[in-house]
Each structure stands twice: as C-alpha cells, then as structure tokens.
Amino acid sequence: MTQPNSHIAPNETAAQHAAFEARIERGEKIEAGDWMPAEYRRQLIRMISQHAHSEVVGMLPEGEWIASAPTLKRKTILMAKVQDEAGHGQYLYHAAETLGATREGMIDALLTRRAKYSSIFNYPTTSWADVGMIGWLVDGAAIKNQTMLAGASYGPYSRAMVRICSEETFHHKQGKEMIVAYAVGTPAQREMAQDALNRWWWPALMMLGPHDADSPNTGIMSKWGVKLKTNDEVRQEFINEHAPELLEAGLTIPDPDLHQDEQGNWKHGPIDWTEFWAVIKGERGLGAERLATRQAAHDDGAWVREALQAYTDRQRAVAAD
C-alpha cells in the first residue's frame, strides 16, 4: 500500500484529508468548488484528459472506414458512432475543465506528447470487420471501465460517465450484431470476422491496463473513490461476458490457454506485455501517424477558430458601445 501521508501537500493538513475521505466514505460526490487534495485534482485531470484524448484519437481508426462502409445504413451508423466519440471527448473535456484545466491546455498537452491516450487506438484497422470487432470488444472493454467510473467520487466525472455509458451501449451492440452476422455469413465474412478477433482480442485485454501489481496509480485513486475496481477485476468482468458470446457466435478466441475455472471465471493465458509497452512507446503501431493526423486537423482548423473568435469579439465590442 501507498503511504497515505505522501499525498498530503505541504499546505494541506491531515484533518482536511480525513474530512475529505470521510465524505467519500459516506458516498458524497465531490463538486468543483469543494476542498480536495491537490493530488486528487492532479490525478483527476490526468485521468480525465487522458480519457478525453482517447475518445478524440479514437475517432480515427474507425473514422477511416466511414468512406468505405458497405451499405448506406452501416455508413450512417458508423458516422453516428464516431460522432458519439467526439461527443464523449467533449463531455470529458468539460469534466476536466471544472477542475481548472483548459481545453487549449489539454489539447496542447496531447499534441506535444505530455499527455497520453489509450494505446488501443494505435492499432491499424485493416478490414471492414474491424469496425464491428472494435465495437464489440474495445467498446465492450471500455464500457466495463466506464460503468465503474460512473460511480466515481468526483461529480462532473461521474456525470460524464453516466451520459457516456448510456450512449456507448449502442456502440457495443452495433458491433456485436455485425460480427455475429458475419460469423455465420459468407466464407469471406467469416474469415474477416475471425481475423479481426485474432488481432483485437489481446489488445482489448491489454487496454484495461497493466496487472494490479504493476499499476502505480491505482492505490490512492481507489482510496479516493475514483477507481472502484482494479484493472484485473475489470478485465475479468470483460472476459466473463465476452468469451462465451464470442464462442457462441462460432469464433475462435486466439488463446489456447483460455478456460473456465471452478468459479466459472474465464481465465486467459499469459499476456505479452512487451507488445503493449512497445505500442505505448511508439516502437510499434501508428502512434506517430495518429498524432500527426490530430496535429494536422488542429493546424488546419486554427484559422477557423481565430475567425470565429474575431467575429465574436467584434460583436461584443459593438454590443458594448
């Protein structure tokens, strides 16, 4: 366990911390104006903005397929889904803004690599079935995490998560519906679905974070009521729901060691974390491309943001006269 005292800043007292922790213990939500430890604020801004950036960068891998969706309906659904991801980024930036972070500052931190985002979005999307598999597995894993965070002690974060969860279920189901259909579809569709599962299964497990023993930030944020379950607990929930459904769909999960234990938990084989860290460090995957794409959108949009601001400033000046 982490030493509790190490989270008390020089200008904070143990009594303040005790009162704060008692509020969380009572199930109260902390609001923006309430007293909170500086470390709570810092960790929340880190988590929430990282989460927001993940939604924003997360638009890219699937967004690439909007142009080539094979029916008008699928194109519409995919647009709505990627649009939701923009919306979720928007809700999350709002939550971080209540803590004093600015949208400008957060975006700058993303583009200058001072802030992270989920490395799952650095994997390439190589076939149309990836859209379905991302919906089923990646969004399925995200929902497990988000459902937990909907109970977080910080009010604005919790509210953003409740709103996101209510929308994210659509993402999960459209993906599942697609893959279940393709798994019994034409030979090419079945192959596509299986290939997508082969590539996304392990990244989906890894996106829920390192094993508990290797997760440095879990301790204090769990005590402060933000991270209510450990990475391994959330991962287990995810596998328990998804493994039987994938098998029911007639697909093969690419893990020869996968089995159910006596308690009925689906246990996965050893995870190759070297790949996870390689993707995070940018040695593998499309991290550089994703950030370059975001940077280009940011740069190309600068004159637009300036123009609207100039228009607004002028209108306000006229109104003030």
Amino acid at 114: R
When asked if residue 133 is in the footprint of another protein (CB under 8 A), the reply is no
Q: Given the complex with another protein, which of 272 and 283 has the nearer CB atom?
A: 272
The Cα 104–Cα 96 span in angstroms is 12
User: According to CB under 8 A, which one of 17, 47, 84, 125 is a site residue for another protein?
Assistant: 84
The Cα 14–Cα 25 span in angstroms is 16
Q: Given the complex with another protein, which of 177 and 212 has the nearer CB atom?
A: 177
Q: What is the DSSP string of 184-249?
A: TS-HHHHHHHHHHHHHHHHHHHHTT-S-GGG-TTHHHHHHTTS--S-HHHHHHHHHHHHHHHHHHT
DSSP state of 134: I
Binders in 196-235 for another protein, by CB under 8 A = none
Nearest-approach distance from CB 71 to another protein, in angstroms: 5
End-to-end CA distance of the chain: 61
Nearest-approach distance from CB 3 to another protein, in angstroms: 26
Binders in 253-312 for another protein, by CB under 8 A = 253, 255-259, 293, 296-298, 300-312
Stretch that binds another protein, among 7-15, 178-186, 228-236, 274-282 (CB under 8 A): 178-186
Binders in 31-50 for another protein, by CB under 8 A = 31-35, 45
User: According to CB under 8 A, which one of 163, 228, 240, 277 is a site residue for another protein?
Assistant: 163
For another protein (CB under 8 A), the number of binding residues is: 113
When asked if residue 71 is in the footprint of another protein (CB under 8 A), the reply is yes
When asked if residue 100 is in the footprint of another protein (CB under 8 A), the reply is yes
Q: What is the DSSP string of 35-104?
A: ---HHHHHHHHHHHHHHHHHHHHTHHHHHTTGGG-SSHHHHHHHHHHHHHHHHHHHHHHHHHHTTT--HH
User: According to CB under 8 A, which one of 3, 11, 73, 264 is a site residue for another protein?
Assistant: 73
